[in-house]
Structure 1
Amino acid sequence: MPNLVRIAPGALIIGKPLPWTVYDADGNVLLTQGYVIQTDVQLEQLFERGLFYPRRSDTPEPEPEPEEDIRPRNPFSDYPELLRTLEVTLQSVQNQSPDAQRRVIGLANLVARCCREAPDPCLALVHLYSVEPTAYEQTLFYAIICYFTAQQLGMDDKRVLVLLGAALTANLALLPILDKLNQSRRRLSDDQRAIIRKHPILSVAALERAGIDNRLLLKIVSQHHEQPDGSGYPEGLSGRDILPEARMLALAERYTAMITRRAYRDRFSITQARSELAEASHGLHDRSIHDALLKAITAYPPGSLVRLANGEVAVVTHRASGLQGTQAQAIMSPTGNRYIGAFRRDCSRPEYEIQQVEVPEMLPSMDYGQLWSFDRH
């Protein structure tokens, strides 16, 4: 089947839902998006059978201008294409393609539209796929979190799009080594530390070479590792010298890093990550960005697994808003058995009150989009 390639080592992660559907050599679907590999034996069998997945082109050809897509956004079915588009977009910047700026703007608009039309499912992507995300997945998560933080602060749409463009490109210079760094148990080498500290400047230089000249975007990228107390890099800026958008991106990166499993540490629970961010805001002259991110995500964000008062395990589907409490779908019984299907739960009712956030190392296999009543077909 054309446009399919053999699965590379490391592409499948135990305990994490597949971000794309897997095919065999004849193009038959073998594993659907959402399936979770449970054991090393399963991994070995899959690699031995020579499974394939849709190619992400290393040398993308210029694409014709697409017709306007007016379909309602489904973040779960859009997810593989979002990741592919992100990779192609960043390659266009690295290759200094004439259409690089158009691609960055187009992707920022697409991410914004997904977040606007399907806000809770977009946040669910961040929390369901955060077990061990790739560099491209992390980058997409930064943009999603930035969008909701900015919305909470009432930022105007044009400025939000610039922020998303920055979030999607800020770590351009780190991409070649980011997955390796996340999977390494060794201490950083001097060369790695140097790249990390220089990557905001290197990313800005790459963007400028590609003809991306939005001064606000470039400034966000250059400042996204500066800290209010002056301890950041590369310039050691502090306080009001740091753009609010740069601080939003820094917090989005920090939150994503905490809820992500790394080779050298376990994942933080959402509760722990929120507590860390809240504590980090103490003593700041302006806590509004920390508060906005925490309020946007909420204590029980969509995609998080929670234990209910009746003992069930459920996936949160909708944040509390207005008169409606947190909504969830129960997927496991109090005895730990997987339900066939899922059952809607209103967590404002005493019997379905959320008791705690679960931090599973192994997510259950299922089509998560169905929890939001999305139909892939």
Structure 2
Amino acid sequence: MSNLVRIAPGALVVGKPLPWTVYDVEGNVLLRQGYVIQNDMQLEQLFDRGLFHPRKIERQQEEILEDTRQRNPFADYPVLLQTLEVTLNAITSGDDSAEKRLLGLTRLIERTCDDAPDVCLALIHLYSVEPTIHEQVLFYAILCHFTAQTFGLDKERTSLLTSAALVANLALVPVADQLNASRKILNGDQRAVIRKHPQRSVIALYAAGIRNQTLFDIIAQHHEQADGSGYPKGLSGTEIRPEAEILALAERYVAMITKRAYRQRMNITDARKLIASLTDGQLRPAIPRALLTVLTEYPPGTLVRLANNEVGVVTQRPVRHLGPFVKAIISPKGNRYSGTFERDCSLLEFNIRAVEQPEIMPSMDFSLIWDLH
């Protein structure tokens, strides 16, 4: 397979599922997407042997948008990340295609979310170990899309918010991964960069020929606080657009559940409690409620222990009086099943007893677990 390229150092992380299938030098599958690297020695061996398909985007945006296939978010994950990177680069370089690329990517994400909502939510929770800035931004966009719909925004406002989520942190992209990997307290210069990133992102969008004041307002306001303590203008209450508050909450939730070099991640139960505790002085109350409704008590991609002592991954949110649904992957005795077994957690013997958050995630074949082809 001549189209394979070597894995770059830093592209893979111990304890995090592989974002793509890895091949050996002859093009044979070495490890499938979803495999979790267990230790540094295995990681070094992969750097010596492992290759993967390059993330290519050779089609025009129009061709991508006309693709009517059922979306497979796991297979699309590398493509979405690469498309995002290309889009952000087009904006920062002032490319004439910038706005067209942003709108095209927004529509692609919306369609993927609408085709496979549970799988899109699973992406966020399965790849929450030290995500790159591009992964974080994709997570923000997915959460904003679903939360806006549940909150009651119309299609046009929802799409605009999804676009805003993709570009609101544009000015942070060059330094975000470095900051996230650092174990040191931020210095004054770094804090200044963070505080100025909403305005700098808007300036970059304007320079790229984008002219949408509502989009600019969402970006400029997404670090304002209802009590007036936010930045850059200290806006308060209804001066802040609900879209900006939804984006702020999406960013906050992703920060809670993601593991960083300088801190462990919060488990889902604690993250939900913190969101539920947000008061009227911090956000419009309907916004945290909308996000919690989207996530449900056990979001897809969450590892859980069942009443029969099996461990599984949540694959589907509750539907009417059924579910949530889990694919059991580990037996009550702690042995790994050779396959997976679907469990309806509304049944007493399969009730969810606790959220599991192991130091190292178990490997999973995502497409098999979610029956995607």
Q: Normalising by structure 1, report the TM-score.
A: 0.94
Residue 37 of structure 1 aligns with which residue?
A: 37
Cα offset, 1:342, TM superposition? 0.6
**Aligned partners of 1:143 and 1:167 also within 8 Å:** yes
Say whether 1:232 aligns with 2:248. Answer: no
Cα offset, 1:221, TM superposition? 0.9
1:263-278 residue pairs with structure 2 within 5 A?
A: 263-278=261-276
Residue 115 of structure 2 aligns with which residue?
A: 117
- The whole-number CA distance in structure 2 between the counterparts of 1:201 and 1:284 is 22
* Root-mean-square deviation over aligned CA pairs: 1.7
Residue 12 of structure 1 aligns with which residue?
A: 12
Corresponding residue to 1:250 among 248, 252, 255: 248
- The whole-number CA distance in structure 1 between the counterparts of 2:280 and 2:369 is 37
1:92-103 residue pairs with structure 2 within 5 A?
A: 92-103=90-101
Residues 283, 207 of structure 1: CA spacing in aligned structure 2 closer, same or farther, 3 A cutoff? Answer: closer
- The whole-number CA distance in structure 1 between the counterparts of 2:3 and 2:175 is 26
Structure 2: runs of 5+ lacking an equivalent: none
**Aligned partners of 1:131 and 1:361 also within 8 Å:** no
* Amino acid in the other structure paired with 1:53: F
Cα offset, 1:222, TM superposition? 0.9
Q: Normalising by structure 2, report the TM-score.
A: 0.95
1:305-344 residue pairs with structure 2 within 5 A?
A: 305-344=303-342
Moved more, 214-223 or 21-30: 21-30
Structure 1: runs of 5+ lacking an equivalent: none
**Aligned partners of 1:281 and 1:290 also within 8 Å:** no
Residue 51 of structure 2 aligns with which residue?
A: 52
Corresponding residue to 2:83 among 85, 103, 114: 85
**Aligned partners of 2:130 and 2:261 also within 8 Å:** no
Say whether 1:69 aligns with 2:67. Answer: yes
Cα offset, 1:275, TM superposition? 1.1
> C-alpha deviations, 1:35-94, integer Å up to 9, x for none?
110111101111233x3334457xx88947416111011111111111111111111111
- The whole-number CA distance in structure 2 between the counterparts of 1:266 and 1:114 is 30
Cα offset, 1:283, TM superposition? 4.8
- The whole-number CA distance in structure 2 between the counterparts of 1:65 and 1:284 is 41
- The whole-number CA distance in structure 1 between the counterparts of 2:62 and 2:300 is 34
Residue 128 of structure 1 aligns with which residue?
A: 126
Instruction: Please state whether the residue corresponding to 2:327 is helix, strand or coil.
Output: strand
- The whole-number CA distance in structure 2 between the counterparts of 1:242 and 1:282 is 13
- The whole-number CA distance in structure 2 between the counterparts of 1:236 and 1:4 is 50
* Amino acid in the other structure paired with 1:338: R
Aligned residues: 372
Instruction: Please state whether the residue corresponding to 2:171 is helix, strand or coil.
Output: coil
Moved more, 17-26 or 302-311: 17-26
Residues 3, 241 of structure 1: CA spacing in aligned structure 2 closer, same or farther, 3 A cutoff? Answer: farther
The percentage of aligned residue pairs carrying the same residue is 59
- The whole-number CA distance in structure 2 between the counterparts of 1:268 and 1:41 is 27
* Amino acid in the other structure paired with 1:36: V
Cα offset, 1:24, TM superposition? 3.5
Cα offset, 1:23, TM superposition? 2.8
Residues 22, 309 of structure 1: CA spacing in aligned structure 2 closer, same or farther, 3 A cutoff? Answer: same
**Aligned partners of 1:96 and 1:209 also within 8 Å:** yes
Cα offset, 1:339, TM superposition? 0.5
- The whole-number CA distance in structure 2 between the counterparts of 1:283 and 1:155 is 21
Residues 285, 69 of structure 1: CA spacing in aligned structure 2 closer, same or farther, 3 A cutoff? Answer: closer
Cα offset, 1:185, TM superposition? 0.4
Instruction: Please state whether the residue corresponding to 2:277 is helix, strand or coil.
Output: helix
Instruction: Please state whether the residue corresponding to 2:165 is helix, strand or coil.
Output: helix
Residue 161 of structure 2 aligns with which residue?
A: 163
Residues 94, 116 of structure 1: CA spacing in aligned structure 2 closer, same or farther, 3 A cutoff? Answer: same
- The whole-number CA distance in structure 2 between the counterparts of 1:137 and 1:232 is 25
Cα offset, 1:353, TM superposition? 0.3
* Amino acid in the other structure paired with 2:242: P
Instruction: Please state whether the residue corresponding to 1:280 is helix, strand or coil.
Output: coil
**Aligned partners of 1:17 and 1:33 also within 8 Å:** yes
Residue 372 of structure 2 aligns with which residue?
A: 374
